[in-house]
Structure 1
Amino acid sequence: MIEEINYNAVPGTTHLVDLEGKMNAHHSSGDSKIVLIPTPSDDYDDPLNWSPRRKWLAVFCNVVYTYGVGIPSAAIYSVLTNIAKETDITLGELNAGTGYMFLFFGLGCVIFQPIALQYGKRPVYLFSLFATCLICVWAPYSKSNGEWIGGKILQGFFGSPIESLCEITMSDLFFEHERARGMGIYALALITSNFMAPMLAGFVSDGMGWKWVMWLCSIFSAVCLVFLYFFMEETNFKRDYSQIDSGMTVLEGIGSDPESLAEDNLADGEKPAQREYKGTNTKNHHTVEVPSSNILFQPKPRKTFKDKISLTGGFKDKFLLPHYLLGPFKMARFPSVLWAGFLYGSSLVFFNLLNATESTVLSGAPYNFSAAMCGLAYISPNICCVVVFLMAGYMSDYLKVSLAKRRGGTSLPEDRLWILVVYMVLGFLACIGWGVGAHYEVHWIVLVISMGLMGGLTVFGCTAAVTYCSDCYHEMDTEAMVVVILIRNLMSFACSYGLTDWVLNMGYKNSFISAACLTLFCNATFLVIRASGPYWRNKTKAQYWKIVEHKRSVEAGI
C-alpha cells in the first residue's frame, strides 16, 4: 500500500520542532522537542535506526572511500612543474587534463548514481576504488597530451561516486536536524584529501620522483578497497511507503527513540514489541490527530556479518534502472536544485584556481619553494578545513533548529544558508591576500594564511549546497544530487580548462581581484534564494509530488 500524497504540501517545509509536545511523532533523544524527519521505520536494520556505533562506522567507511579516491585525484597538484619538465606535456595541458577529470567526475554520476540505486551503493564504491587503483598505475607512463587526457577522463568517470553518492549515504544515515553534521564530515574529508595529497606528494617527489606519487596512490587505494570490503555496510533500504512521510500522512511512534530499535541495543533473542501507533495529518503544516490503531511489528532476522558484506544486499527486486536514469533529468526543472549546483560549482572554481597556481607561485621567485615545501604549504588549508567544519556543520544544524523554534516549529531549507555570510566576507579577503600578495611579493606567511582560508572555506559551499538540496527534495535527493554535481563539475571544467590563460593574461593581481569579486557575488546570491526559495518550492510543488508519486508507484509495481 502507498500512502496518498498531499499535493498541497510544500516540499522541504517541515514541522521540525514540537514546541507544545502534542505531536504524535518520533522525537530526538537529545532534545525531546525535535521531530525526527524522515520518519524511521520499525526495522532495526533501517540505517536511520542504527546504533551510534554502527552509524559512525558507516561514516568512517564513507571517509575512507573519499580519501581512497580523492587523494589520487589531487596528488599531482604540487608536482605539476616536475611532470612538465620530464614529459612533453605542457603545464597548460596538465591543467586542462585535470579539467577533463573534473568534467567526468560529474558526467559519471549520471551513470553510477542510478546503478547504485538499482544494485546497491556498496558494490559501486568497491568497483570505483578498484578502477582508481588500476588507473593510478597507468598515469606515470603517460608521455603525450592524449594519453594524459585519456587517463584523467577514466579516473574522473570511475571515481565519480565520490561526488554525489557519498552525500546520499550521509542522508541515509542522519535525520534532518543533524544532516549538516554528516555532510560537513564528508565535505571535510573531500577537501582535506585534495589538500593532504599534494602536501605528501611533494616529499615523495623529492625523494623518489613524481612517478612514485601515483604508484603509492594506487597502493593506498588498494588498502582502502580491502578495508571497505570487510567494514562498509549497504545503506540502501527498502521502505514501506505506507509508513513514511508522503506529504500528507505520517505514521509515528509515541514516545519512542529510533535507537531503541537498533541492532546493538537489542539483547540476543529479543524481538521488537507491539507498540501503539497513531497517524498524524501534517497538511498545511498543522498537526491533527486521526483515529489510533495498533500495529504489530513483525520480527525480522538480524543481519549477520556475512549479510553485511554481501555485494547483493542492495539489489532491487525489480529492474528499474531506466527509471533511475531518467530521474535526474526530471529534477533539473527545479530552481532550488539548479541554484545549489551553481553555489557548489562556484566554490570549486576558486578551489581549482588556487591549486593550479599554488606550485607556480611558491616555487617561483622570490619564494623558491621546493616541491616538498610547496606540498607542506597545504597544511594551512587542512587546518582551516577542520576549523571551518566545526563552524559550518554545527552552525548549520543550530540555525535549522533555532530558527524553527522562533517560527513556531516550522522549518525552511533556506534557514541553513545564513552560514554563507562568513564565506562571502572571508572568501573575498582570502582571494585578495593570495593574488595581490603574490603580485607584490609579500611575505610567504600572508600567502599561506590566504591559501588556507581559500581552501578551508570551500567546506561552507559544499555543506550549504548539499544540505539545502537534500532538505528541499529529500524524497528525490539521489536524483537531484546528480544535477547539482553535474552543474558543479561543468563549472569546474570550464574554469580548469581556461584558468592558465586567465592568470597569464591578467596576472596574479587582476585575476584574483576578479576572483574575489566573483566569490562575493556568487555567495551573495543566497539572499535572493532566501527570499524567493519558498515561493519557487510552493510554485512547483505539484510537479514535484507527481514525480515522487510516479517513482513510488514504479517501485511498488503499481
Structure 2
Amino acid sequence: MSPDKLDLDEKHQSLEHRENSAAGTIIKLDSTGLPLIPQPNASETDPLNYPIWLKLLILFQVSILAFLATLNVAIVNPAVVLLADEFHIPQVTATYQTTVAIGTSAIGPLLFIPIANVYGRRPIYLFTLLIGFASAIGSAEAKSYGTLILARIFNGSGAATAAVLGAGTISDMCYMHQRGKAMGLYTVMLTNGGHLAPIIGGYVARSHGWRWCFWTGAMLNGAMLVICVFLLPETIYTRPSSSYDEALADLVKNDELDDAEVKELLKHGEIYHSPPFSLWTYFTRLKLWDVSPERHLKPRHFVVKPLGMLKYPSVAIPALFYGVIYGFASIEPALIVTTLFTRIYHFDTVQNGLANGISLLVGASLGELCSGPVTDVMMQRARRRALGQGKTAAAEVRLHGIWTGAITVPVGLLIFCTNKYVPDFASWFHRSICS
C-alpha cells in the first residue's frame, strides 16, 4: 500500500475516533462558546467551581500576602542610616541585611512549593506567615548586626514563599482566559509592596526608630495569619483524568485539525454552569492539609524539577527578563537611594522613603493594572484565530506584553540617573502632604 494511502486511512480513522469520542462527551464552554481550559469537574470542591465572591476573597488574601512579602524585605530601607549609626557600621554595610533577605528569598520557594503541591497550599501559607511574623520580631529585637542578618535570612525565605505560591493558587481557581486580570491585580500587590514599604517605613522610622519598621511588619503578618486561618480555603484539587476528553486534549496540544473537526467537536459542547456551593463545602476546605493518594512527594521535586523548567525558552527567557528588569528598576534604587540622597541632599527618613517609593508605586500600578486586561484580550483573540485554523493558542501569546516594559524601563532609568529634579519633587510632595 502506498504511503499516501496509509496517510489517508490514518486521517480517516483519527477523525472517526475523535467524532466517536466527542459524541459521548460534552465539552464545557464559556459564555462566548470557547472550550474552558482546564475543563472543570462537576464537584463543589473543584476550585474552578468556587463562586465569584470566594474567588475574589482568595485573590485578595493571596495578593495581600504577596504585598507583605516584599514589604517585609524593603520597609527598613529608608532607615539604614539610623541602623548603621546604632550598630556602628558603614552605611553600605547596613544595606546588606536587605540584600540577604532578597537573596534568601530564592530558597523558600524551592523548599516549600513542592510540599504545597502535594499537601496543599493552605498549610504552607499559614506556616510561612508564622515564619514572617517570628522573623520580623527577631529583626526588631536584634541586639547585634549579626543577629539581625540571621533574622533577615528567615524573613526573606519565608515571606517569598507566600508570594510565589499565589500564582499557583490563581491557576487553581481561574480558567486560562481569566488569569490575566487576576495575575494583574496579584502582581500589582507583589510589586508595590516593595515600593510602598519605604514610604511607610520612612514615617515609622522618623517617629519611632528603625526597629519599629520591623514591628510594623510583624503586626501585619500576625493580623494576616489570623485572617487566613478562617478565610483562606484550600485550592489544590486533583481533577479526575476522565474530565479531560481526548478531543479537547487534541486542542490543548495544538494538534492539526481541519475546520470540519473543530466544528464537530464544538457541536457537542454546551455552556457550563457551576454547581451550587454550600457553606459545608467551605468549612471542609478549611482543614489544615489536603492529602490525595494520587499526589506523591519525591526528592527531585525540591530542586531538580523546578530548575528543570529552565530548559524551556518560554520559561527561561521571561524569568531572566523579569529578574534583570526588577533588579535594575526596583531593587537597585531601594538599596542606593537612601545612602546617596542622605549624603548628597541631606534627606531624612521620610524624604528618602518618598523619593524611593512614589515613582515606582505609580508606574508599577499603572503598568500592572493595564497588563492583565490587555493580555486577556490578546489571549481571547489568539484563541479565536487559532480555532479557525484548527489549532489552539499557545499560552506564550501573553509574552508579547513584555515589549512595553523592555522599552520603558531602560528609558526610565536613564531619566532617573540624569534628572536633577528628582530630589526636588520628593521634597515638594513631602511638604504638600504635611501642610
* Length-normalised TM-score, structure 1: 0.63
Aligned to 2:370: 391
Partner of 1:369: 347
Q: Is the 8 A contact 2:126 2:229 kept in 1?
A: yes
Matching of residue 311 in structure 1 with residue 288 in structure 2: yes
Normalized per residue, the structure richer in helix is: 2
* 1:284 Cα offset (Å): 1.3
Task: Tell me the amino acid that sits aligned with residue 63 of structure 2.
Answer: V
| Residue in structure 2 matching 1:27, options 26, 29, 45 | 29
Is residue 62–residue 162 contact of structure 2 (8 Å, CA) maintained in 1? no
In structure 1, what is the equivalent of residue 211 of structure 2?
A: 211
Which shows bigger deviation, 84-93 or 210-219? 84-93
Task: Kindly provide the CA deviation profile for residues 200-258 of structure 1, in whole angstroms up to 9, marking residues without a partner as x.
Answer: 1111111111111111211111011101111001000111012127xx4438xxxxxxx
Deviation at 1:343, TM superposition (A): 1.7
1:355 matched to 2:334? yes
The alignment partner of 1:26 has SS state of: strand
Q: Secondary structure of 1:43's match?
A: coil
Please give the alpha-carbon distance, in whole angstroms, between the structure 1 residues aligned to 2:307 and 2:79: 39
Deviations 1:409-464 (A, max 9, x none): 63133322222222122112210111122xxx335356899xxxxxxxxxxxxxxx
CA change 1:85–1:392 in 2 (3 A) is same
Once the two structures are superposed, residues 156-214 of structure 1 have per-residue CA deviations (whole angstroms, 9 ceiling, x without a partner) of 22223134211111111211112121111111111111111211111111111111111
Partner of 2:22: none
**Structure 1: distance between partners of 2:66 and 2:72:** 10
Q: Deviations over 1:478-507 (max 9, x none)?
A: xxxxxxxxxxxxxxxxxxxxxxxxxxxxxx
Q: Which residue of 2 aligns with 1:333?
A: 311
Aligned mates of 2:380, 2:421 — CA distance in 1:
44
Instruction: From the CA coordinates, give the structure whose radius of gyration is larger.
Output: 2
The letter for the 1-side match of 2:59 is V
Change (3 A) 1:148 1:285: farther
Point out where structure 1 has 5 or more consecutive residues left out of the alignment.
1-22, 252-278, 450-558
Q: Assess if the C-alpha contact under 8 Å between 2:67 and 2:193 holds in 1.
A: yes
1:378-413 deviation digits (Å, cap 9, x = unpaired): 233222222112221111111122234344363133
Q: Aligned pair count?
A: 388
Q: What's 1:417 paired with?
A: 399
Q: How big is the shift at 1:281?
A: 9.6
- The whole-number CA distance in structure 1 between the counterparts of 2:36 and 2:294 is 30
1:284 aligned onto 2:255: yes
Change in 2 beyond 3 A, CA 1:292/1:177: closer
Cα pair distance change 1:374/1:393, threshold 3 Å: same
Taking structure 1 as reference, are residues 223 and 283 closer, same or farther at Cα in structure 2, changes over 3 Å only? closer
Distance in 2 (alpha carbons) for counterparts of 1:374 and 1:73? 16
Q: Secondary structure at the match of 2:344?
A: coil
Unaligned runs of 5+ in 2: 1-24, 429-435
**2:37 maps to what in 1?**
37
Per-residue Cα deviation, 1:496-552 (whole angstroms, up to 9, x for no partner): xxxxxxxxxxxxxxxxxxxxxxxxxxxxxxxxxxxxxxxxxxxxxxxxxxxxxxxxx
Q: Secondary structure at the match of 1:160?
A: helix
The 1-side partners of 2:415 and 2:382 are apart by 34
CA distance in 2, matches of 1:225, 1:129: 6
Match of 1:240 in 2: 240
Structure 2 length normalisation: TM-score? 0.80
The equivalent of 1:60 in structure 2 is 60
1:503 — aligned with what?
A: none
Q: What's the % identity of the aligned pairs?
A: 24
User: Letter of the aligned partner of 2:156 in structure 1?
Assistant: G
Q: Do the aligned residues in 1 keep the contact of 2:69 with 2:163 (CA within 8 Å)?
A: no
Secondary structure of the residue that 2:248 maps to in structure 1?
Answer: strand
Q: Return the letter of the residue paired with 1:382.
A: L
